[in-house]
């Protein structure tokens, strides 16, 4: 339910009165979790490369930059 509320809150900024099938919410959650797991794997590699065990915001920025994502 918290994820569903988040999706509805974000969608509200673009268009009001949107409806979502529960399977669509599930697909969005699955894709979001897969993206974040992958991003944090790359972020952890950046921290390890810097000889650290704790990730920092700069590691996330580096991981996103290497992926070609905007920061």
Question: What does the pLDDT average to over 51-67?
Answer: 98
State the pLDDT at residue 14: 95
CA–chain centroid gap for 42, Å, is 13
Question: What does the pLDDT average to over 46-57?
Answer: 99
Q: Supply the CATH classification number for the domain 2-67.
A: 1.10.20.10
Q: What global pTM score does this model have? A: 0.87
Question: What does the pLDDT average to over 24-48?
Answer: 99
- Per-domain residue ranges of the chain: 2-67
Tokens 């390890």 sit on residue: 48
CA 39 to CA 60: how far, in whole Å? Answer: 7
Per-residue confidence band for 61, with pLDDT thresholds at 50, 70 and 90: very high
Question: What does the pLDDT average to over 4-17?
Answer: 95
Report CA-CA distances (Å) from 33 to 27, 36, 48, 54: 10, 5, 22, 21
State the pLDDT at residue 71: 62
């Amino acid at each position: 339910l918290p994820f569903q509320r988040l999706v509805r809150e974000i969608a509200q900024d673009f268009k009001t009165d949107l409806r979502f099938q529960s399977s669509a919410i599930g697909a969005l959650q699955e894709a979001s979790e897969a993206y974040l797991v992958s991003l944090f794997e790359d972020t952890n590699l950046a921290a390890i490369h810097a000889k650290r065990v704790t990730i920092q915001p700069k590691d996330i920025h580096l991981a996103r930059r290497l992926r070609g994502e905007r920061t």
